[in-house]
């Protein structure tokens, strides 16, 4: 585990967690369409997938436009459903990784302290 990026230790892990997060959302079915938070997360996951397709590096403006980690922490983390709680955690990892877009080495050695130091 890599601190603020959770189970994401590099690009390969990022794409695996992104795919898993999209699959979890799809498994929520009709609820995802009706709920504004889930609809926003769906749009953001799809946008991240588009912006990173074929090895593309997202721009800084693109990376700072994503807020699904905040939505997950605020709206989903305390759902009482362990699957949703785990998914919310994955969304936060994805958001942090996408926002920073670290190299594989940086991601693999990241700690929570690195994240908080970069906010200074």
How far apart are the C-alpha atoms of 112 and 47, rounded to whole Å? 26
What token pair was written down for 73? 């922490």
- pTM comes to 0.86
Q: Is the confidence at residue 87, as pLDDT, over 90?
A: yes
Q: Is the confidence at residue 2, as pLDDT, over 60?
A: no
Determine the number of helices (DSSP H) and then strands (DSSP E) in the chain. Answer: 8, 0
Confidence category of residue 93, pLDDT binned at 50, 70, 90: very high
How far apart are the C-alpha atoms of 67 and 70, rounded to whole Å? 5
| Overall average pLDDT of the 78-107 stretch | 92
How does pLDDT run across 7-27, given as a tens digit for each residue? 999 999 999 999 999 999 998
Alpha-carbon distances, residue 39 vs 1, 16, 35, 78, 104 (angstroms): 29, 21, 6, 18, 30
How does pLDDT run across 27-86, given as a tens digit for each residue? 887 666 678 999 999 999 999 999 999 999 999 999 999 999 999 999 888 888 888 999
| Overall average pLDDT of the 88-110 stretch | 93
């Amino acid at each position: 585990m890599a601190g603020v990026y959770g189970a994401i230790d590099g690009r390969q892990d990022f794409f695996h967690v992104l795919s898993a997060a999209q699959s979890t959302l799809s498994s929520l079915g009709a609820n995802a369409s009706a709920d504004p938070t889930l609809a926003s997360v769906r749009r953001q996951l799809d946008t991240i997938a588009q912006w990173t397709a074929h090895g593309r590096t997202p721009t800084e403006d693109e990376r700072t436009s994503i807020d699904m980690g905040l939505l997950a922490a605020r709206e989903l983390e305390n759902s009482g459903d362990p699957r949703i709680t785990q998914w919310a955690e994955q969304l936060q990892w994805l958001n942090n990784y996408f926002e920073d877009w670290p190299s594989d080495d940086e991601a693999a050695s990241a700690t929570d302290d690195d994240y908080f130091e970069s906010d200074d």
